[in-house]
């Protein structure tokens, strides 16, 4: 299964970052505007065994997805796709305290879709989209939290 890993150092405390990432309503503020992310339904605060349903615009299509938060600890959030275009998608966020702030690491394990959609959403295109999205996300977090 392909894996995408990236991280950034932020000049805020791990607690401040975790609090921000734990508010599902904040997700659009750190998502690339090109995705047009809209939260359809979600708990106000990320908690284990809760679900978030959202819609994005990607590859010229509006896509609705549903993820379940399986872990929501003080230093780790894990969301697994339960409905969406890919065969598999698990997003793990870990937060580590450092002397000057904290490090956020995002690991995404995914399996591209099959069928006709798989010709458009290839592993390479998904990786490219993740790189662009995470770059935007990390810049937005730095502006908001530092």
**How do residues 2-46 score in pLDDT, each as one tens digit?**
999 999 999 999 999 999 999 999 999 999 999 999 999 999 999
DSSP state string for 22-63: TBGGGGGGGS-GGG--EEEE--SB--TTEEEEEEEEETTEEE
Q: Check whether 115 has a pLDDT greater than 90.
A: no
CATH code, domain with 40: 3.30.530.20
Mean pLDDT of the chain: 95
Domain that holds residue 108: 3-145
Written as six digits, the tokens of 74 are 């003080």
Q: Can you give the pLDDT at residue 146?
A: 85
N-term to C-term CA, the chain:
35
Q: Which among 8, 7, 40 has a CA at the least distance from the CA of 25?
A: 40
User: Structurally, how many domains does the chain consist of?
Assistant: 1
Q: Check whether 82 has a pLDDT greater than 80.
A: yes
If you average pLDDT over residues 61-76, what whole number do you get? 95
pLDDT > 70: what percent of the chain? 99
pLDDT band at 114 (very low <50, low <70, confident <90, very high): confident
């Amino acid at each position: 299964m392909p894996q995408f890993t990236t991280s950034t150092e932020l000049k805020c405390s791990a607690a401040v970052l975790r609090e921000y990432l734990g508010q599902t309503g904040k997700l659009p503020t750190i998502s690339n505007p090109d995705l047009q992310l809209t939260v359809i339904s979600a708990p106000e605060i990320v908690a284990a065994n809760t679900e978030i349903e959202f819609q994005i615009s990607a590859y010229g299509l509006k896509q609705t997805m549903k993820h379940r938060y399986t872990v929501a600890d003080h230093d780790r959030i894990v969301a697994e796709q339960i409905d969406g275009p890919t065969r598999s998608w698990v997003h793990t966020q870990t937060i580590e305290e450092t002397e000057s702030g904290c490090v956020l690491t995002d690991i995404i394990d995914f399996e591209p879709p099959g069928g006709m959609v798989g010709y458009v959403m290839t592993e390479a295109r998904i990786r490219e989209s993740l790189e662009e999205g995470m770059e935007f996300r990390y810049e937005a977090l730095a502006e908001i939290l530092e």
